[in-house]
Amino acid sequence: MKVKKLSNSDMIDELLQPLITENRIPGLSISVSRKNKIVFEKGYGFSNLENKTPVYPQKSIFRVASVSKPIAATALAIMVQENLIDLDASFYDYVPYYPKKGYDFTIRQLASHTAGMRGYRGKEYGLNLPYTIKDSITIFKDDDLLFKPGKGYYYNSYDWVMISLAIQEASGVPFEKYVQEKVLKPLKMLDTFPELEGKTIVNSVEFYSKKRKGFRVAMPVNNFYKLAGGGYLSTTADILKLGNAYLTNDFLTEKVQKEFLTAQKVNNESTYYGLGWQVSTDKNGNAYYGHIGNSIGAYSNFFVYPKEELVISILTNCTNPSIQDVLDEVVELFLDKN
């Protein structure tokens, strides 16, 4: 008897549906485009478990965690393009009131995580304090650098808090308004928002953490101050628009885009990180740029494969679900179809 070959869609279902039935995640949204056309888009599980609300890729709004960094990096790239910020200028040129350290450091070093800034300590990851971006530097401003800028690589979100502050100071407008006017509106990312305390976002998912059997609503957290590093809300459909803006090369100049999508080097070795973008190759040697993110109540994947003109956006509503191995298999299915 001839065995029917599974379609690409069936194989994706076979990988993703068990994540729901086995209680590994509450819900997941995936949107995929090739040559700027949607080739796969589907929701799995629930955006709200109590109400049994399905996930809709075009409208279910998730926390995107560190996928916020490419959004912020795009705003920074525009500032560079418009000569409002110099990547190799000192951070102090834009934020002179920041406490002096043992070494100077640049905007480029902050954007590439080579400035020596520390990361979260203790409960900082889940702070629920109403900090503004400017106020929030009190968390880390008095701490020493971890290493001489340019001599090491240490991934963290505070680098991007500082960049968002520099963008505010250089532009004269709040960071979130600059991003709205210069990035989100032009790219028609109409379902991408900063997460603001007390502001209800229609179609926002519920955020969950795992417990022994099932899930619980995630603890409250205020992500506004770290908006640039991990505080945006969006849909998988909207995130595709960002990726495709880079593939079409009609949003940023080729020179500026290349600068942001080139992996930096420390001691002549690649960090596999550009300026706000992870830049690498997968296990099969396919070049990509994008970002993976994890935050309270969220886990995210965003990959752009330029040779294949492929953009993949995956968002879930669960803290640290340990599903990257499955998501990698899903991505491989789309690459195998070239």
Q: Can you tell me the distance from the alpha carbon of 135 to that of 142, in angstroms, rounded to the nearest whole number?
A: 13
Q: What is the mean pLDDT of residues 315-332?
A: 97
Q: Can you tell me the distance from the alpha carbon of 76 to that of 122, in angstroms, rounded to the nearest whole number?
A: 29
Say how far residue 139 (Cα) sits from the centre of its chain: 22
The whole-number pLDDT of residue 3 equals 46
The whole-number pLDDT of residue 337 equals 57
Question: Which pLDDT band holds residue 305 (cuts at 50, 70, 90)?
Answer: very high
Percent of the chain with pLDDT over 90: 93
298-323 residues labelled b (16+ CB within 10 A) or e (exposed):
bbbbbbbbbebbbbbbbbbbbbebeb
The whole-number pLDDT of residue 196 equals 85
Q: Can you tell me the distance from the alpha carbon of 129 to that of 284, in angstroms, rounded to the nearest whole number?
A: 43
More confident residue, 243 or 5: 243
Instruction: Say what the pTM is.
Output: 0.96
The whole-number pLDDT of residue 5 equals 59
* Predicted confidence (pLDDT) per residue in 74-128, tens digit: 999 999 999 999 999 999 999 999 999 999 999 999 999 999 999 999 999 999 9
- Res. 338: pLDDT tops 60: no
Question: Which pLDDT band holds residue 1 (cuts at 50, 70, 90)?
Answer: very low
The whole-number pLDDT of residue 200 equals 83
The average confidence (pLDDT) of the chain is 95
